[in-house]
Amino acid sequence: MGQLAREAGMSFPLSLRAFIRDAECPHSQCVRLHLKVLQAPAVSLKTMLLSMRDVCATRDIGVSVASREALTGPAFATLLDIDVGTCNTGMGPTAEQTQLFANRNNVDTNDIVIYFVRTTVPGSNGCGVFPADRPGAVVTGSASRWTMAHEIGHVLGLAHISGEGGACTSPDFTRLMTGCGTGRITGTPTIAETEGDAMRNSNLTVDC
């Protein structure tokens, strides 16, 4: 924990709650997240958060967590394996995505909610399609450490990078927005300058 605190520019000792809710932000722009958990992923939320902070910091964007909530009960049990359809922004969300994304307790208009589920149908590590005025994404139990950052990239308006070939014949696993699987990213991925500009220009990225 001491090493993680130093990497995040925080003093030690500290509690996990203080670490997740760290209010200090050296960046000019920030995104505010709310973590709503139906089922915890294999990779810890802390690891995903640290990874996202690392890669977003390269484009002067901070990441804060405003709340964390467990979503339990019969209504959410039916959404553990959530239908995301084609996961295509142009096609819009499915009925199940619309149902899940209605859960925005304590969430401001420009905040992003990440819903942690068991699986998506069809299967993937996550999906960044959301209903209008309910920005967010789903992340599955099999997600990699970079999946949350990747899906939030989609929420902020980023597409998969071009040039990887229709069947990922020439994948670029050095980039966050690779469309060929975040689990195969090597090292800390990069965000292109144009992608960073698009993220900062999103109405979901606010002054810190």
pLDDT, mean of each 10-residue run, the chain (208 residues): 48 52 71 98 97 96 96 96 95 97 96 98 97 97 98 97 90 97 95 97 93
Q: Which residues contact 37 (CB under 8 A, 6 or more apart)?
A: 45, 68, 69, 70, 71, 115, 116
Tell me which H or E stretch contains 67: strand 61-70
- Calculate the CA 42 to chain-centre distance: 15
The secondary structure of 120-152 as a DSSP string is EES--SEE----TT--EEEE-TT--TTHHHHHH
* Two tokens, residue 28: 């000019």
CATH class of 26-162+194-207: alpha beta
CA 190, CA 55: separation in Å to the nearest integer? Answer: 7
Residue-level pLDDT at 17: 56
Residue-level pLDDT at 25: 64
Shortest CA distance to 128 belongs to which of 119, 118, 115, 141? 115
Q: Where are the domains of the chain?
A: 26-162+194-207
Query: For the whole prediction, is pTM greater than 0.85?
Result: yes
